[in-house]
Structure 1
């Protein structure tokens, strides 16, 4: 199951990179057209904006899965181990509640905009607001998985609480975990 998810998230990373490249290309093309030819592609700004929104939401799912979101763990690290688990689980419950609110708000916006289309691209706005549904669901599933691991898998809390001081720490840990898998 873990390898299948790893492959899925590799595809998601490629998709995000493609969307970022497309977004940069659209914006750059528009700048060149405006500067040199005094014209523009009308739909490119809107499309770049929507791609940016999707990149952010999909990136949030990936960051939650990799446990690389910004976090303040100084309080939890100073607590005794029993209370560390409680503090971690309280944080996860808060995230879960926020995802319920995100899902609720995204659902209402999606339903309100079922018949609406974007002005320049004519893309249904349900595609724009629907990403909140996908993100909140995926993060909620991840939170429930983390809670399960923290409660029932010995030693997993230490890995779940591991916040990275720098990107180098994160790269070292990734390399070590890949060596363990092989």
Structure 2
């Protein structure tokens, strides 16, 4: 199971790295076209904006570890361990309910964009915004796994409810 988790994490990181490399390459093409050849091209802006959106949401859902996310945890850290576990469970349940509850409306919104196309490349906007659905499903899965880990192991530290994959040696 640990090997499978490591494979998933490495695949997610690889996809993010490929998106970042592509974004950088498109950005360099945009600069060269505009300032070296004096020939601005519109497709580079569309691809850059789309890749940035995908990179941020993909990374937040699948690449960042739980402790890498920004949190305001002054009360959480000051509370005793028993309360920390309760806070972690309440946070997980709240996020699961909110994001899963919003998923049908988010899907309707994304699906609505099948009628609109991007200005230059004529890509259906549904495929640009579908990353939000992947982000939502990934976030729900992450917090369901975290909630199960909290409930299953009462001795686990509540500040790290999500399993941290070990790097292969």
What TM-score, normalized by structure 1, do the two folds share?
Answer: 0.80
Which structure dedicates a bigger proportion of its chain to helix?
1
Q: Structure with the greater relative contact order (CA < 8 A, sep ≥ 6): 1 or 2?
A: 2
Give the 5 Å matches for 1:97-112: 97-100=97-100, 102-112=102-112
Contact 2:34 2:41 in 1 (8 A): no
| Residue matched to 2:79 | 79
User: What is the number of equivalent residue pairs in this alignment?
Assistant: 168
Cα-Cα RMSD = 2.4
Partner of 1:90: 90
Runs of 4+ displaced beyond 4 Å: 63-66
Show structure 2 runs of 5+ residues with no match. none
- 1:148 aligned partner: 148
- Change in Cα spacing, 1:124 to 1:130, as seen in structure 2 (3 Å) is same
Moved more, 59-68 or 149-158: 59-68
Are residues 1:27 and 2:19 paired? no
Q: Deviations over 1:62-115 (max 9, x none)?
A: 355544211123312221222111111111123223423552443122121122
TM-score, L = length of structure 2: 0.86
Residue matched to 1:126: 126
